[in-house]
Amino acid sequence: MGSNKSNNIKSNTDDNAGSNTSGSMTYEEALEYIHGTKKLGWKLGLENIRTLLGMLGNPHEKLKYVHVAGTNGKGSTVAFISSILAKGGYKTGMFISPYIERFTERMQVNGKEIDKDDLARITVKVKCCVDEMLKRGLHHPTEFEIVSAVGFQYFYEMNCDIVVLEVGLGGRFDSTNVISTPLVSVITSISYDHADILGDTLEKIAFEKAGIIKENGDVVLYPQDKSVEKVIEDACYERHSRLHRADFGKIKPQHCSIKGQVFDYKEYENLEIKLLGEYQLKNAAVSIEACRVLAGKGYELTGEIIRKGLKNARWPGRMEIVNQEPLVMIDGAHNVEGVKALAKNLEVYFPGKKKILIMGVMRDKEYKTMLEIIGPSADKFIAVTPPNERALGAGELAKNVESYCKNVIVSDTIESGIRTALDIWDEDSIICAFGSLYYIGEIRQYFNKQEDKTLIDLYIDDY
C-alpha cells in the first residue's frame, strides 16, 4: 500500500546517525568542503558510499524510491514524477544532478530546496564520518559520494514518504545505486555521453544504465534503439523484474506554443505541460507509466492527480524562456542527441526567425558534431567559455564554428556574451543560449534578479 503521507521531521539524533558531530560549519564552509573534494575525481563503485552511509546509520535503507537513469530526459522525468507524487499528497524528496543556479537545488522536498543551515549541519555529520574513514586508512569519498550521503540523510530526517532519485553518472556503480530494489526504476533515452567512462557503444552504455535494475523490481523504459532495449530486456529477465514500456504511438499532440503543450496519452485527454519540445511529451508519457506502476502498489495517483502534477511540473534550463522582449531561451543541450532535439525545436517554435546562438561547452564533448548539426541554422554565433576546468576555450570553439556560420563573435565573459546578443538582436531574431549547464545558470540569473525566492517558487504554484 501507499505510505502514510506523514509530515513529521526526524530528530537530528535519530539512530545515532553521525554521532560525532562536534564543530559546526556555515553554508559557505559546507560548500567549500564539498567542492574541495572535486579534485579527487570520479571513482565509480559502491564500497565507499556503503561505508559512509553505514557510519551515518544507513539512512538510505529507511526510505522508498523511484530511481531514474538515462542520458537525456532524466531531470525532466524526475520533475514530472515528483510533481505528480506531491500533488497526490506524498512528502516527496527529489535528488538531482547537477544544479542550475544554487547547490541547494540538488535536494528538495515538495519543491522546496534544502535549507542552507540544514545543509551545513548535515555536512558536518558527513565530514565527521569521512574523517573517521580516513583514520581507518580507507579511501576518501568523492564529491558525489559526499553529496549523495548528505541527500540520503536529509530525506531521512525529513521523513519523506518517497524519494525520486536521479542517477549522477551511469547507473551500475553510481553512488545512488546503493539503494535496494526501488518501487520503480526508470530508464530514459540513452545516447553517447561520457564514453570514456561508460563505454564507446550504445550497448555498453545501456549496460551501465541497466545496473539500476534490481531483483524482482518494476522497470519503466523510454522506447528507443532496439539494441538498447535488448540490453534492458536481458537485465530484467536476469533479475526477474517486470518491464513496462511507454507507448509513444498513443501520444496525440493537440497544441503547442512557447507557453506550453497540450496532448492526449492513452485514456488521459488534454494533458498540459509547461515544458517545451516534442521529447517532453515522451518524457511525460514515461512519467505517467511510472506513476501507473506506483498506483498498482497502492499509491493514490488518480488521473486527476496525474493531470495536476504534469501541469505543475517545471524543469529550469531546458528550452526555458527566460526573457520575452527580446525573446531569450536557454537550453542545457550538451551532447549530440540534445543538440539534435534543440535544432529541431528551434524550427518548430520559431520558424522564419533569425537565430542568435550563444554556446559554451566542455572540451570532452562531441562539440564538432554538435556544431555540424546546429551551426548552419545560426545567423550569428557567440562563443563563450564556461566556468569549469574542463571547458573548451571560446576562441577554439569559434574556430570550429566558422565553417558553418560567418558571423562568429568571441566573448571574454558570459555576461559580455549576453550583452553582445542583446545589442545585435532585432525583432526578427531570437536568442538561444545552449550547451553546458555550468554557464546556463549564470545566464538565467542575469534575467532573474529575485534572489530571495527559491528556484521552484519562481515557477510553481504551492503544492
Q: CATH code at 114? A: 3.40.1190.10
Are 44 and 84 in the same domain? yes
Higher pLDDT, 39 or 185: 185
Are 206 and 261 in the same domain? yes
- CATH number of residue 441's parent domain: 3.90.190.20
Q: What is the mean pLDDT of residues 190-200?
A: 69
Asked whether residue 413 is domain-assigned, the answer is yes
Q: What is the mean pLDDT of residues 4-31?
A: 61
Q: Are 278 and 347 in contact (CB under 8 A)?
A: no
Domain housing 341? 320-447
Last residue of a domain, one of 312, 331, 356: 312
Asked whether residue 9 is domain-assigned, the answer is no
Are 217 and 76 in the same domain? yes
Are 268 and 324 in the same domain? no
Task: Report the pLDDT value the prediction gives residue 441, as an integer from 0 to 100.
Answer: 87
Q: Tell me the β-bridge partners of 429.
A: 354
Kindly report, residue by residue over 389-438, the tens digit of the pLDDT: 889 999 999 999 999 999 999 998 999 999 999 999 999 999 999 998 87
Are 260 and 203 in the same domain? yes
Task: Report the pLDDT value the prediction gives residue 20, as an integer from 0 to 100.
Answer: 41
Instruction: Examine the pLDDT at 455 and tell me if it is beyond 50.
Output: no
Q: What is the mean pLDDT of residues 226-230?
A: 95
Last residue of a domain, one of 267, 283, 312: 312
Asked whether residue 145 is domain-assigned, the answer is yes
Q: Are 25 and 123 in contact (CB under 8 A)?
A: yes
Give percent of the chain with pLDDT exceeding 70: 89
Are 202 and 283 in the same domain? yes
Kindly report, residue by residue over 352-368, the tens digit of the pLDDT: 999 999 999 989 888 99
Task: Report the pLDDT value the prediction gives residue 460, as an integer from 0 to 100.
Answer: 31
Q: Which stretches of 55-156 are assigned E, i.e. beta strand?
A: 65-69, 92-95, 107-109, 112-113
Are 50 and 135 in the same domain? yes
Confidence of residue 291 (pLDDT cuts 50, 70, 90): very high
Asked whether residue 457 is domain-assigned, the answer is no
Any idea which of 78-87, 286-295, 334-343 has the lowest mean pLDDT? 334-343
Higher pLDDT, 182 or 199: 182
Asked whether residue 220 is domain-assigned, the answer is yes
Task: Report the pLDDT value the prediction gives residue 43, as an integer from 0 to 100.
Answer: 65
Q: What is the mean pLDDT of residues 448-462?
A: 39
Are 356 and 261 in the same domain? no
Q: Are 84 and 287 in contact (CB under 8 A)?
A: yes
Asked whether residue 222 is domain-assigned, the answer is yes
Confidence of residue 10 (pLDDT cuts 50, 70, 90): low
Task: Report the pLDDT value the prediction gives residue 412, as an integer from 0 to 100.
Answer: 86
Are 147 and 110 in the same domain? yes
Are 203 and 225 in the same domain? yes
Q: Are 268 and 305 in contact (CB under 8 A)?
A: no
Asked whether residue 397 is domain-assigned, the answer is yes
Task: Report the pLDDT value the prediction gives residue 19, as an integer from 0 to 100.
Answer: 40
Are 172 and 86 in the same domain? yes
Per the structure block, which three cell numbers stand in for 247?
507507448
Q: What is the mean pLDDT of residues 448-455?
A: 45
Name the CA radius of gyration of the chain, rounded.
Answer: 22
Higher pLDDT, 13 or 233: 233
Asked whether residue 356 is domain-assigned, the answer is yes
**How high does pLDDT run on average in the chain?**
89
Number of domains in the chain: 2
Last residue of a domain, one of 262, 295, 312: 312
Q: What is the mean pLDDT of residues 224-239?
A: 96
Confidence of residue 12 (pLDDT cuts 50, 70, 90): very low
Are 130 and 194 in the same domain? yes
Task: Report the pLDDT value the prediction gives residue 438, as an integer from 0 to 100.
Answer: 77
Q: Are 188 and 69 in contact (CB under 8 A)?
A: yes
